[in-house]
Amino acid sequence: MEISGIVSAIVIGAFIGVLGRLVVPGRQHVGVVMTVVIGIVAAFVGALISHPLGLYDTKGITWLVWVVQIVLAALGIAWYDRRKRR
């Protein structure tokens, strides 16, 4: 992976984190930096999960990959919020 791919993955991951936070109902006690970190991790893991499933084999935008990444980000944010409250 080239540096441009890594930078774009970080930017997309930040966006995924914000979308994942919007999906989780209620108020979350998760900071902006942690939201971005969770989004980046969700973007990478979502890409790793989606590739073997063949979700990249589409023409145009890979919407299903985005859905997988956003769901993973939402789960990560919900998990981190519950962990932090304890």
The pLDDT value given to residue 1: 57
Query: How far apart (Å, rounded) are the C-alpha atoms in residues 78 and 57?
Result: 30
Instruction: Give the mean pLDDT of 11-27.
Output: 90
* CB-CB neighbours of 33 under 10 Å: 9
**Is residue 46 helix, strand or coil?**
helix
Residue 12, pLDDT > 60, answer yes
Q: Would you say residue 77 has pLDDT above 90?
A: yes
Would the pLDDT of 79 be above 70? yes
Cβ 65 vs Cβ 42: under 8 Å:
no
Query: What residue ranges do the domains of the chain occupy?
Result: 3-85
Q: Give 22-76 pLDDT, tens digit per residue.
A: 999 888 889 999 999 999 999 889 888 888 888 777 787 778 888 999 999 999 9
